Amino acid sequence: MRVITIDDVTVKFDGDMDEAELAEYVKRGRQKFGKYLRGIEAVQDGEYVDISYDFKAQKFQRLRRITGYLVGDLSRWNDGKLAEEKDRVKHI
């Protein structure tokens, strides 16, 4: 298996694929998955190519539904709402 980098995407491949073909797979992956695409593995099986994608970790903010509100953090809550959150039954 050979490894090259195209547009900051690591491409692992075997078979007789040229760099132009691999660049098209990277282009399609960028269109489909955007900036989170980290790598591609292309395995040639006859006239077919199996493509697997590897992604960068995405930052996300956890949202919770507390007392009828969707919240990310409790930094803006007053003492009454903080007490409600503290007293609620947490289901796991």
The answer to whether residues 37 and 55 touch, using CB atoms and an 8 Å cutoff, is yes
The answer to whether residues 19 and 3 touch, using CB atoms and an 8 Å cutoff, is no
**Which one, of 85, 79, 51, lies nearest residue 67 by Cα?**
85
pLDDT at position 67: 67
Structure tokens at 48: 């077919």
pTM tops 0.85, yes or no = no
Please state the rounded mean pLDDT for residues 25-40. Answer: 88
Q: Which amino acid is at 36?
A: Y
Domain ranges of the chain: 2-55, 61-92
d(CA 37, CA 26): 9
